[in-house]
Structure 1
Amino acid sequence: MRVSFYTLGCKVNQNETGALAQLFRQNGYTLAEPDEEADVFVVNSCTVTAGGDKKSRQWLRRAKRQYPGAVTVLTGCYPQAFPEEAAAVMEADVVMGNANRHAILRNVARALEGERVVDIAAHEKGEAFEELPMERFEGHTRAFIKVQDGCNRQCAYCVIPRARGRVRSRSEASILKELEALAAAGYKEVVFSGINLPSYGQDTGTNLTELIEHSAQVEGIERIRLGSLEPDLLSDDDITRMARTEKLCPQFHLSLQSGCTSTLRRMRRVYTAEEYAAVVKKLRQAYDGACSFTTDVIVGFPGETEEEFAESVRFVQEMKFLKVHVFPYSRREGTPAATFPDQIPEEEKARRVHVLQTAADEVRGQLAKEWSGSVDTVLLEKPLSANLFTGYTRLYLPVVVNASGAEAGQILSCRLGEWDGERCRAAAVQL
């Protein structure tokens, strides 16, 4: 039996798809590529935007049209957030949410017998973190570990708490055990991911910083990287302790959403632009400037004036982010912002995306040029030839490394060179 996966959305979704693929493999299935024939097609959906839901439906329809005898599965955030709508997608033979993922094999078996299955378990208060461990990451030289799920916040634009439930954390013992297995398999860099990562431990009496410190003690793990962080959840003590942990890559993805405090308040974010800047300043001081920042920004939020947008652009430029993901606001059913007045026209949102992304990319290029000639360690990833590899520095600068005799998965010290707009040229050095 062959199974094919199609994944939409965030790193957590990608991690969960990998875990589901491993679950299928352990039960006798082989993996097929998305465009290859298979007996089972699974779409792991994202519902952050209505466009994500549409893509999920289109993919299912195409799979059914091309392989009418195959079983199709719709799982993930879309069914969890909008169960009635998802259940009505008749191109899906199995419809499941984010809870009880282990039931997918049983539900597929029922569908293979001709039964249509709708199995969307509601999130419950006090529910436990569902373990979906991973042992290998096909095509990746770094390992992604989901350590947290759920979000207790109520941002005006976001449907994710409805799709993911409340905060719940994976046990530290389970995480450390998986880290040991990954290190034994040759992985040197791990990335911690979660829906609201810095809330890790709020339900279990621990915290993310303690997890980082203990994970850094696992022999064989040389680099730890963090997923998206909420700036207000990083205390002064967290910052000090993280800076002392040498294995933690000093690159922080601090969620911003807007550089204008008035817009942040309408978004129901819990910090101001000034408070955000203060966290960035503290991190830079803790690392003596040897750290980098990436972020996400939404433009065209309801009521965002031209002056507020300009303020957000200036803020992004002042923060000197290494990379900025710019998104147009997407009106999402089921969120307060969907009913806010003063919705911005789509063409204006597209213009603002272009303006802010252009400004952010200019800063990115400037930073890359400033780092030219410096030395940083690089995890070698995709080989381009016998001597050339793509990779990322500790600060998350993408590079092409000339490293004769090296292999993917190695971490080498490299001297940075010219920036070509996408990657920095680099060469391995002997220290």
Structure 2
Amino acid sequence: MRASFFTLGCKVNQYETQILKQMFSAEGYDIVEFGEQAEVCVVNSCTVTDTGDKKTRQALRRAKRENPGAVVALCGCMPQAFPNLCDELPEAQVITGSYNRKGLLDAVKLSLATGERVIDITPHQRGEGFERMRAKAFDEHTRAFVKIEDGCERYCSYCIIPTARGPVRSKPIEELQTELRELAAQGFKEAVLVGINLSCYGKDLGLRLLDAVKAAAAIPGIERIRLGSLEPELLTYEDIKALASLPQFCPQFHLSLQSGCDETLKRMNRHYTAAEYMKIVKMIRSVFKNSAITTDIMVGFPGETDAEFEASLAFFKSVGFAKAHVFAYSPRAGTKAALLNEQVKKSIKEQRSHRMLTAAEQAREQFLWSQTGIIVPVLFETSENGLNSGYTMNYTPVHVACSENLQGTIRQVRLTGAAEDACVGQLV
């Protein structure tokens, strides 16, 4: 039998799809590309925005249309956050949530055996543990994404994720190290530690994120360690100094900003001010010689006035980000922000998005050109038609024209210029 998978959303979702592929493969399934003929089609959903829900519905309809006789299964954040939508998703013959991944395989087996529709969404509850899972391979050949944390308890006013993902829980250190040893043995040189609220790693175990990074750094063969998105106010100066002492640590910090205006941040229920965010950025730059600060920033949050937007834009420009994801606020059912009055008009959000995107593009170009003239180690991930591409420690993409296949190697490169959202360089 064959099974195909379609994944929406974050790196955590992608990691979990990898786990599902392994589970189905161990049961004798051949894993094929989504769109190919298969007896089971799995859609792993994201529900951060309404757009994610729409894409999930589209994927379900596509799977049923292209494989009318298949069992179409839906899992992930959308059904976990909104179990009441199950009746509106007739294409999905099996529906599970964002917890109990093994439950999906069991539900599919039951549906295949009986022909019945199976809905099995395990509710999140206080005290639940980290679901044991260990990735054995990835589509990428040099970088492994490793989920070490799940859940969020921050309750930002615009975000449904605490409902979809439940309380904070963390992967035990021993399990993390076992997973990394196996991945290193396969030739993976870089580990990216990811989570739903990564900064809260260890809260349930009496540990901290720094403990996970140190544990990863102790694994022979793992030459680089990178972190996923972080809540800025949970990063201390002591943490930054400790991370700098680890030669494997990559100085790229994705610090989610959301807004550069204090009044907007309060309505978002974020737990820092713009000044506190800038203090953290300066601490990082004082410790790491050539760090990259990346971020997410939202425009058009309910109640955002022209003055608040201008304050946010000015702050954004003052930071000097290496890269930014800009997006307009969209109401999310089940969140406090969706109930707020003073929703910003679509036309105004579009105007503000354009201005913020322009600032982000300018910041990106300035950052890339600031990298030129230096010599840095690059981990090459692809090699095609004489063009080798990879990333520096601070996650600057680099292209090197070279007839040699450099995939999977770390080589010293002199960065000589920038073009098309990347630096170009020459082997030293």
Distance 2:108 2:196 in 1: 27
Structure 2: which amino acid aligns with 1:286?
V
Deviation digits for residues 145-192 of structure 1, max 9, x if unmatched?
A: 000000111100000000000100000000001111111000000100
Identical amino acids, percent of aligned pairs: 50
What residue in structure 1 maps to residue 350 of structure 2? Answer: 350
Distance 1:345 1:136 in 2: 45
Return the offset for 1:87.
4.5
What residue in structure 2 maps to residue 3 of structure 1? Answer: 3
What residue in structure 2 maps to residue 278 of structure 1? Answer: 279
Matched position secondary structure for 2:243:
helix
Distance 1:381 1:260 in 2: 38
Q: Which runs of 4+ in 1 moved over 3 A?
A: none
Matched position secondary structure for 2:109:
helix
What residue in structure 2 maps to residue 413 of structure 1? Answer: 412
1:258-277 correspondence to structure 2 within 5 Å: 258-277=259-278
Distance 1:277 1:241 in 2: 20
Asked whether 1:376 is paired with 2:356, we answer no
* Conserved 8 A contact 1:20-1:132: no
* Conserved 8 A contact 1:129-1:148: yes
What residue in structure 1 maps to residue 304 of structure 2? Answer: 304
Distance 2:346 2:206 in 1: 44
Asked whether 1:117 is paired with 2:118, we answer yes
* Conserved 8 A contact 1:45-1:56: yes
What residue in structure 2 maps to residue 389 of structure 1? Answer: 388
What residue in structure 2 maps to residue 212 of structure 1? Answer: 213
Asked whether 1:133 is paired with 2:102, we answer no
Distance 2:365 2:329 in 1: 26
Matched position secondary structure for 1:301:
coil
* Conserved 8 A contact 2:230-2:254: yes
What residue in structure 2 maps to residue 252 of structure 1? Answer: 253
Figure out how many residues of one structure are paired with residues of the other and give that number: 427
Return the offset for 1:140.
4.0
1:29-178 correspondence to structure 2 within 5 Å: 29-113=29-113, 114-178=115-179
Return the offset for 1:404.
4.0
Return the offset for 1:211.
1.4
* Conserved 8 A contact 1:256-1:295: yes
Distance 2:325 2:149 in 1: 23
Distance 1:208 1:331 in 2: 32
Compared CA separation, residues 87 and 74, structure 1 to 2 (3 A): farther
Distance 1:427 1:16 in 2: 37
Distance 1:81 1:61 in 2: 20
* Conserved 8 A contact 1:79-1:87: no
Distance 2:108 2:61 in 1: 18
* Conserved 8 A contact 1:87-1:95: no
Structure 1 residue runs of 5 or longer lacking an equivalent are none
* Conserved 8 A contact 2:12-2:147: yes
Matched position secondary structure for 1:229:
coil
Return the offset for 1:403.
4.0
Distance 1:236 1:242 in 2: 10
Structure 1: which amino acid aligns with 2:121?
I
Matched position secondary structure for 2:379:
strand
Matched position secondary structure for 2:194:
strand
Matched position secondary structure for 1:274:
helix
1:188-199 correspondence to structure 2 within 5 Å: 188-199=189-200
Deviation digits for residues 311-368 of structure 1, max 9, x if unmatched?
A: 1111111111110000110100100000111101222212211211111111111121
* Conserved 8 A contact 2:141-2:188: no
Asked whether 1:428 is paired with 2:427, we answer yes
1:234-249 correspondence to structure 2 within 5 Å: 234-249=235-250
Shifted more, 204-213 versus 85-94: the winner is 85-94
* Conserved 8 A contact 1:40-1:72: yes
What residue in structure 1 maps to residue 401 of structure 2? Answer: 402
1:315-354 correspondence to structure 2 within 5 Å: 315-354=315-354
Return the offset for 1:139.
3.5
Distance 1:87 1:169 in 2: 33
Distance 2:278 2:407 in 1: 37
Deviation digits for residues 39-65 of structure 1, max 9, x if unmatched?
A: 111110000111211111121112112
* Conserved 8 A contact 1:231-1:276: yes
| C-alpha RMSD of matched pairs (Å) | 1.1
